[in-house]
Amino acid sequence: MRHIIAIRDLSREEIDGILDDAQGIQARSYDPSALEGKLLGLLFFEPSTRTRMSFAAAMARLGGNFLSVDSVEASSMAKGETLADTIRVVSRYVDAIVLRHPKEGAARLASEFAHVPVINAGDGAGQHPSQTLLDLFTIRQSMPLGGIHVGLLGDLRYGRTAHSLAHALSLYNVTIHTITPKGLELPAGLATELRDAGTEVIEHDDLASAIPGLDVLYVTRIQRERFPDSASYFKVASSYQVTPELLTGVRDHFIVLHPLPRLNEIDPRVDRLPCARYFEQAANGIPVRMAMLLRVMT
């Protein structure tokens, strides 16, 4: 396997393979020197805590090393260097690149200029495949993926985690329920693509009435940084919040996920409920990203 740019590029078998590997890694069956002598380049041109740190930790736990650029200002991008040139150079320094960039399509472009594998760690409002793999991994810890009902709540227009997850779920015969503020619906092209692939996509106006029919509620943050202006952000900000009161009539195995960071879309009182799995989900970033690095670097 070379680049991992979008979930669409992976087959269901490849996804299951990575998740199985991650499960083995979580059970401590891996070689801690598997990536000894290898170097990973972390190019993060947008803020990140979990994604960057968990890729770095994953690399270190496999005996490898990493180099990182953490902002546009700290790199030659600030001098006007093109992404293509940055990638041409960096791919001569390292054995694989993890890229986060504000522009949709940036990771795909980078993969055309790289001599080493590129993993997309988020390209604007595009895709976020490593997040999706750890989302699927977390769901699989509670229930089989096939045939379940997953609610996607929040900013499905700009939220790249939701875009990648929706693609992946359509491979598992999952029914997708969308609950969004006005104007933040799934992009029309994506919704059509899902339906053409045979996935049922049900739109809800009301969160409370949608919840009892769900196995998983995937909550997302409104992606303020992608809005054209702050007035349009404030029109939808704080328009939904998951509270313990909303979660009283849920299915037995029901879980709440969130890629994090969260603002106020999940009431902190939910954290104490057994269905709250978002911190385990973040922890799962390590075994899943270890499995991904092993796939592309060995």
What is the closest distance, in whole angstroms, from the C-beta atom of residue 115 to ligand NCD in the complex?
Answer: 26
| Residue 180 designated active-site | no
| Cβ-Cβ contacts under 8 Å for 114 (sequence gap 6 or more) | 3, 87, 88, 91, 97
- Which is catalytic among the residues 3, 52, 61, 128? 128
Residue 150 near residue 177 (C-beta atoms within 8 A) = yes
Instruction: Please give the residue ranges that form the binding site for ligand NCD (CB under 6 A).
Output: 50-51, 122, 128, 131, 160-161, 221, 259-260
Nearest to 62 by CA among 104, 100, 34: 34
| Closer CB to ligand NCD, 161 or 284, in the complex | 161
What is the closest distance, in whole angstroms, from the C-beta atom of residue 128 to ligand NCD in the complex?
Answer: 5
What is the closest distance, in whole angstroms, from the C-beta atom of residue 79 to ligand NCD in the complex?
Answer: 26
Distance, CA of 184 to CA of 191 (rounded, Å): 13
What is the closest distance, in whole angstroms, from the C-beta atom of residue 296 to ligand NCD in the complex?
Answer: 19
| Closer CB to ligand NCD, 118 or 250, in the complex | 118
Distance, CA of 266 to CA of 54 (rounded, Å): 23
- Tokens at residue 164, please? 């990648």
- Which is catalytic among the residues 100, 167, 258, 277? 100
Residue 159 near residue 218 (C-beta atoms within 8 A) = no
| Residue 262 designated active-site | no
| Closer CB to ligand NCD, 58 or 250, in the complex | 58
| Closer CB to ligand NCD, 47 or 212, in the complex | 47
What is the closest distance, in whole angstroms, from the C-beta atom of residue 36 to ligand NCD in the complex?
Answer: 28
| Residue 128 designated active-site | yes
Distance, CA of 245 to CA of 141 (rounded, Å): 25
- Tokens at residue 167, please? 């693609």
What does the radius of gyration of the chain's CA atoms come to, in whole angstroms?
A: 19
- Which is catalytic among the residues 8, 50, 224, 262? 50
β-partners of residue 43 are 69, 99
Q: At what angle do helices 106-113 and 83-90 cross, to 10 degrees?
A: 50
Question: Coil, strand, or helix at residue 99?
Answer: strand
Classify burial at 176, counting beta carbons within 10 Å of its beta carbon; exposed 0-12, middle 13-18, buried 19 or more: buried
| Residue 220 designated active-site | no
What is the closest distance, in whole angstroms, from the C-beta atom of residue 252 to ligand NCD in the complex?
Answer: 27
Write the single-letter amino acid at 215. D
Residue 272 near residue 247 (C-beta atoms within 8 A) = no
| Residue 79 designated active-site | yes
| Closer CB to ligand NCD, 93 or 234, in the complex | 234
**65-69 and 96-101 beta bridge pairing:** unpaired
Catalytic residues: 50-51, 79, 100, 128
